[in-house]
A and B are shown apart, each in its own frame.
Chain A
Amino acid sequence: MDYSKFISKLSSRRKPSCISELRRALDNCSPSLVWLASGMPNPEKFPFREMTVTLEGGKKLTLSKETLSAGLQYGPSHGYLPFRNQLKRMVEQWHAPPRWAESDLIVTVGNQDGISKALDMLLDPEDFIVVPDPCYSDFLCMLSSLAPQIVAVSVDDQGMRPDILQSALEKAISSGSTGIPKALYLVPNSCNPTGTNMGEERRQEIYAIAQQYDLIILEDDPYCFLQFNDKYLPSFLSMDVDGRVLRFDSFSKVVSSGLRIGFVTGPPPLLQGITLHMQASCICPPMLSQVLIHELLTSWGDEGFKKHISDICQFYKEQRDAMIQALKTHLTGICEWIVPEGGIFVWLKVLHLSDTSAMLLERGAKGDIVLVPGREFMVDSTKPSPYMRAAYSCVTPEEMMKGMENLAKLIQKEIELQSTHT
Chain B
Amino acid sequence: MKYSRFLTQVSRNRQPSLIREMTNLLAQASPELVFMAGGLPNAQMFPFQAGSITLKDGRALTIHPKLMMDCLQYGPTPGYPPLVKQLKDLTQQLHSPPRWAEMDLIVTAGSQDGLCKALEMMISPGDYVVTQEPCYTGTLSILKPYKPRYLPISGDQNGMCPEALKAALSKWKPEEVQDTEKDVPKDFPPSFLSMDVDCRVIRFDSFSKILSSGLRIGYVTGPKPLVERIVLHAQVSLLHAPAMSQVLVSELLKLWGDEGFFKHTDAVQAFYLDQRNAMLEAAEKHLSDLCEWAVPTGGMFLWLKVPKIHDTWDMILERALTKNVILVPGKAFMCDSSKPCQYMRAAFSIVSPENMDKGCKNLAELIREEMVLQESNASSD
Binding site for B on A (CB under 8 A): 10-15, 17-19, 21-22, 25, 29-30, 32-42, 44-56, 70-75, 109-110, 112-113, 116-117, 137-138, 141-142, 144-147, 192, 252-260, 276, 279-289, 292, 296, 308, 311-312, 315-316, 319, 344-345, 365, 368-372, 376, 389-395, 399-400, 402-403, 406
Contact = CB atoms under 8 A, between A and B. Distances in A.
B87 interface: no
Contacts of B141: 14-15, 17, 276, 279-280
Chain A contact residues, majority secondary structure: mixed
A112 B236 contact: yes
B47 A255 contact: yes
Nearest to B73: A258
Contacts of A284: 214, 216
Contact of A56 (B49, B113, B245): B49
B29 interface: yes
A75 B25 contact: no
Chain B contact residues, majority secondary structure: mixed
Interface centre among A11, A45, A308 (most CB of B within 10 A): A45
Contacts of A392: 36
Lowest 3 A-B CB distances belong to which pairs? Answer: A258-B243, A287-B214, A403-B34
B19 A138 contact: yes
Contacts of B233: 145
Contacts of B91: none
A183 B301 CA distance: 44
Given A13-B144, A145-B10, 14 more contacts: A15-B144, A18-B332, A19-B328, A35-B326, A55-B47, A73-B212, A73-B214, A112-B236, A145-B11, A282-B110, A287-B214, A287-B215, A370-B22, A370-B36
B242 A289 contact: yes
Contacts of B13: 144-147
Interface residues of B, number: 114
B145 A14 contact: yes
B72 interface: yes
Nearest to A30: B324
Interface string B54-72: 1111000001000000111
A284 B110 CA distance: 9
Contact of A258 (B75, B268, B329): B75
Contact of A260 (B37, B240, B268): B240
15 contacts: A17-B138, A22-B326, A47-B57, A51-B54, A72-B213, A72-B214, A117-B237, A145-B13, A256-B48, A256-B72, A257-B73, A371-B37, A390-B36, A391-B40, A393-B40
Contact of B324 (A15, A18, A32): A32
Contacts of A42: 271-272, 275, 349-350
A116 B236 contact: yes
A253 B212 contact: no
A308 B47 contact: yes
B181 to A, nearest CB: 32
A39 B301 contact: yes
Contact of B29 (A112, A319, A365, A399): A365
B359 A34 contact: yes
